[in-house]
């Protein structure tokens, strides 16, 4: 009799987006005359930058000719893309990252979900709350937690992000071995300062821990004082792994391309106390279980680093950030305290009431869909996330409706 991985039975079913979808469909069925505007799900709405589309066409034509056709590529990604990333995303910011420390993949979701598997099952975890759910759920699947009690898994140190700490969690009192951080944050849109990130890097060095730094929204940082990469912090090369994605940088959510940086000095220890290079372990895992991203997609990703590509992705992000500014100003004008939206595409609204109640209110009275904060963790209660990923016309209409509904 085949048995299941019992850890899967501990997973708390995530009803968030299906619950939202159910409530929205019920509303639409009851009020077919009221078009709903969705500012809930974090998917982009604008098409790929022209430079990426042009590169896709050229690469597709290469695949059509025997002389230029490509079969399996290097699992870690083509040198042209790894070198472009090293040069434009790191060297240009003074970070010493080598091209062979960059692993190209088909998404940060997979990478930040998979990376935990190279570490022992009894390590101590520190995970933010509210949070992008992949970090927690993949550790539950791997057996690193106990059961879920009152919305929290036992055995996890939750890093509370609250109004009191400006949604940037404090260092835990005890020791943790694997620390997840995400800045600019999903769902709060908060960013971490150089001083805050320095404290985390020092903590990780003190405890011989590893930081998994998710910077999927790095391209949205506009404040010149905010670090774009954890590697801008001295000493991070020994203790941090960074995830980046082309999804929100260049509209690749449906095209799929991302990368993970694993510097060679990052170490983890075996039971006998011998150090191992995490880079070698990840390389083993990646090459064993993954066969690389499609050549045309990597060419499209590399196109964002050309002059045209940089201009076009910059304009794309400026467009979403202008939406975000409108949303934040409107919600602040209605008396809510908000974070995010200035260096991130999400606005985290402190509603001062139950997050599902506020969600229902916006849906019923304004026909606008947001995301209830409680769906991202206990500390998300009392908040909603509003996303800037939409057309300008939809954002403006949504805000006019929200103002009318809440005044």
At closest approach, how far in Å is the CB of 218 from ligand PLP? 11
127 binds ligand PLP (CB under 6 A): no
Which is closer to ligand PLP, CB of 330 or CB of 386? 386
229 binds ligand PLP (CB under 6 A): no
At closest approach, how far in Å is the CB of 324 from ligand PLP? 15
380 binds ligand PLP (CB under 6 A): no
At closest approach, how far in Å is the CB of 362 from ligand PLP? 21
- Give the number of other CB atoms < 10 A from CB of residue 283: 17
Is residue 174 a contact partner of residue 38, using CB atoms and an 8 Å limit? no
Q: Which helix (H) or strand (E) holds 383?
A: strand 383-387
Which is closer to ligand PLP, CB of 101 or CB of 242? 242
161 binds ligand PLP (CB under 6 A): no
At closest approach, how far in Å is the CB of 253 from ligand PLP? 5
CA–CA gap between residue 121 and residue 24 (Å, rounded) = 40
Please name the residue that has the structure tokens 């995530």: 14
* The binder of ligand PLP chosen from 40, 49, 77, 107 (CB under 6 A): 107
Binding residues for ligand PLP restricted to 208-227, rule: CB under 6 A: 214, 216
- Give the number of other CB atoms < 10 A from CB of residue 354: 15
- Give the number of other CB atoms < 10 A from CB of residue 101: 26
3-state SS assignment for residue 156: strand
H helices within 160-276, ranges in order? 194-207, 247-250
| Beta strand ranges found along 175-257 (DSSP E) | 178-182, 210-214, 240-245
45 binds ligand PLP (CB under 6 A): no
Residues in the chain, total: 407
Nearest Cα residue to 57 out of 45, 48, 67, 66: 48
Nearest Cα residue to 108 out of 252, 278, 308: 252
Which is closer to ligand PLP, CB of 102 or CB of 399? 102
132 binds ligand PLP (CB under 6 A): yes
385 binds ligand PLP (CB under 6 A): no
At closest approach, how far in Å is the CB of 106 from ligand PLP? 8
321 binds ligand PLP (CB under 6 A): no
367 binds ligand PLP (CB under 6 A): no
348 binds ligand PLP (CB under 6 A): no
At closest approach, how far in Å is the CB of 214 from ligand PLP? 5
- Give the number of other CB atoms < 10 A from CB of residue 99: 17
258 binds ligand PLP (CB under 6 A): yes
Which is closer to ligand PLP, CB of 40 or CB of 107? 107
Which is closer to ligand PLP, CB of 108 or CB of 351? 108
Per DSSP, 99 falls in state G
At closest approach, how far in Å is the CB of 108 from ligand PLP? 4
CA–CA gap between residue 23 and residue 363 (Å, rounded) = 9
At closest approach, how far in Å is the CB of 206 from ligand PLP? 26
CB neighbour list of residue 343: distance below 8 Å, 6 or more residues apart: 184, 189, 191, 220, 221, 222, 223, 226
Q: Which helix (H) or strand (E) holds 390?
A: none
CA–CA gap between residue 277 and residue 268 (Å, rounded) = 7
104 binds ligand PLP (CB under 6 A): no
CA–CA gap between residue 399 and residue 283 (Å, rounded) = 47
- Cα angle for residues 30, 42, 296 (degrees, 5° grid): 125
* The binder of ligand PLP chosen from 76, 139, 245, 312 (CB under 6 A): 245
Q: Choose the stretch contacting ligand PLP; rule: CB under 6 A; options: 105-113, 154-162, 268-276, 375-383.
A: 105-113
The interface mask with ligand PLP, positions 166-205, x = CB under 6 A, is ----------------x---x-------------------
323 binds ligand PLP (CB under 6 A): no
| Residue ranges that bind ligand PLP, judged by CB under 6 A | 42, 107-109, 112, 132, 182, 186, 214, 216, 245, 247, 253, 258
């Amino acid at each position: 009799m085949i048995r299941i991985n019992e850890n899967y039975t501990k997973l708390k079913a995530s009803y968030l987006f299906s619950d939202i979808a159910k409530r929205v469909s019920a509303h639409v069925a009851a009020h077919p005359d009221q078009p709903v505007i969705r500012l809930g799900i974090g998917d982009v709405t604008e098409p790929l930058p022209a430079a990426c589309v042009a590169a896709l066409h050229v690469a597709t034509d290469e695949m059509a000719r025997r002389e230029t056709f490509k079969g399996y590529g290097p699992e870690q990604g083509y040198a042209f893309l790894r070198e472009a990333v090293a040069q434009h995303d790191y060297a240009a910011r003074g970070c010493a990252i080598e091209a062979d420390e960059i692993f190209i993949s088909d998404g940060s979701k997979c990478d930040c979900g998979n990376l935990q598997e190279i570490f022992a099952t009894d390590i101590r975890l520190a995970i933010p709350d509210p949070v992008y759910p992949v970090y927690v759920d993949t550790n539950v699947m791997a057996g690193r937690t106990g059961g879920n009690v009152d919305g929290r898994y036992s055995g996890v140190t939750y890093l509370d992000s609250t109004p009191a700490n400006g949604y940037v969690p404090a260092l835990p009192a005890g020791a943790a071995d694997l620390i997840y951080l995400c800045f600019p944050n999903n769902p709060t849109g908060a960013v971490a300062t150089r001083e805050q990130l320095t404290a985390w890097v020092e903590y990780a060095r003190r405890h011989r821990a590893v930081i998994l730094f998710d910077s999927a929204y790095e391209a949205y940082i506009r404040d010149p004082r905010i670090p774009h990469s954890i590697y801008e912090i001295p000493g991070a090369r020994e203790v941090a792994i960074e995830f980046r994605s082309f999804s929100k940088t260049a509209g690749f959510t449906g095209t799929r391309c991302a990368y993970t940086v694993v510097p060679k000095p990052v170490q983890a220890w075996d039971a006998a106390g011998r150090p191992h290079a995490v880079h070698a372990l990840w390389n083993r895992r990646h090459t064993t279980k993954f066969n690389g991203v499609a050549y045309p997609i990597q060419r499209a990703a590399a196109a964002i680093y050309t002059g045209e590509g940089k201009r076009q992705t910059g304009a794309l992000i400026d467009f979403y950030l202008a939406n975000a500014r409108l949303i934040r100003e409107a919600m602040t004008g209605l008396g809510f305290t908000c974070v995010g939206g200035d260096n991130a595409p999400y606005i985290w609204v402190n509603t001062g009431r139950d997050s599902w109640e506020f969600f229902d209110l916006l849906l019923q009275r304004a026909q606008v869909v947001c995301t209830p904060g409680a769906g991202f963790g206990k500390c998300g209660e009392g908040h909603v996330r509003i996303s800037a990923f939409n057309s300008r016309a939809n954002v403006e209409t949504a805000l006019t409706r929200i103002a009318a509904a809440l005044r």
